[in-house]
Structure 1
Amino acid sequence: MSPDEGKTLRADAARNRSRLLDAATLAFAERGADVSLDDIAKAAGLGIGTLYRHFPTREDLVLAVYGAQIDALDQRSRELAASDDPGEALREWMRGFVDFYAVKQGMVTLLRTMMNGSRAGQFEQTRATMRAAAERVLAPAAGAGVIRQDVAAPELIRALGGICLTSDPKSTPPSSTLALVDLVYDGLRFGAPVTASSG
């Protein structure tokens, strides 16, 4: 095999993996973790054998989707941390958390089993990444005085997670969930130095 052929195969494999992750993300959000792997492969336009080559078990696929969502929130926090409007950047990241949780909620039963089983250690890094992402958007907003100073990243994550857990995606319009997120954001602004001085 020539070097060019090897690069092509690697590129094809990367594209297939990405297609499988996209299809699985949508399927888990809409139908939960019990959706068949065959349906996910078909939605990606690939064969079940290709899916198993990338993700030998359902748990491997769930963990990959979960990790990709965490990575997306982390990357978004890095982009927003450089914003000229740290308050609005924080609000945008909080609203993006809803999309992450819609996927997580579809997988929550299996994720809980995995967190308490042999794969528990694999979740420590994702938790740390999530805390760092939240802190990355909280700190500039607090530093600019647009939110209160006494809120830590774990508290923000719990608040957002609580909203999402009580919002059934099948019966709760996304606009309603986002409205609750905005209420939490307004709570962060209450008593903030800039708000207090301007009031």
Structure 2
Amino acid sequence: MRELVYYVAVSLDGFIAGPNGEFDSFLAEGDHMDVINERFADTIPTDFADALHIPQSRSMFDTVLMGWNTYAVGLPFGVESPYRHLRQIVFTRGRNATGESLEVSRDDPAEVVRRLKQEVGASIWLCGGGALAATLADEIDRLVLKRNPVLFGTGIPLFGERPYRPERFDEVATTAFESGVVLSEYRRAPSAG
């Protein structure tokens, strides 16, 4: 069965973006980038990967899920299909978008993920945002967090608004880089019972 992986950059204080969607404080240079670009090449926007000559095999991810605000980041720059090498599903209640390999869904995200998990393929990447991650928290199989050595103070939380309900994830691996970025991977702990 396919896994849903929430792979995202996060500040030390738990934000994936600033209050207006800012993410330019996350480190885009440093010794962590080669590892990330190699291992997670499928998560690089298609045009960037092409410009950097980074091959995207779709071996880790073949599908990406986004909320509208995450998707809309590229629209002012004319980017209507940021990850066209992947199947892109954008969840929105009332907006429309068109682009290569792009689907807009008004369906319940959890139901969509459960259907996707039954299909044959690579893992499913939850790109963001925090509200969508909160909605899909019960479906997330793995977390891969790129913790950046910055404090935001306020912004979009890693899991948006979510009721208090502790869930256990076990650490799989953690790599600390000289840049200060720490890449940590967690797998959902088996449920007791």
TM-score by length of 2: 0.27
Larger radius of gyration: 1
Higher helix share: 1
Q: Which has the higher contact order (CA 8 A, sep 6+)?
A: 2
Higher strand share: 2
TM-score by length of 1: 0.26
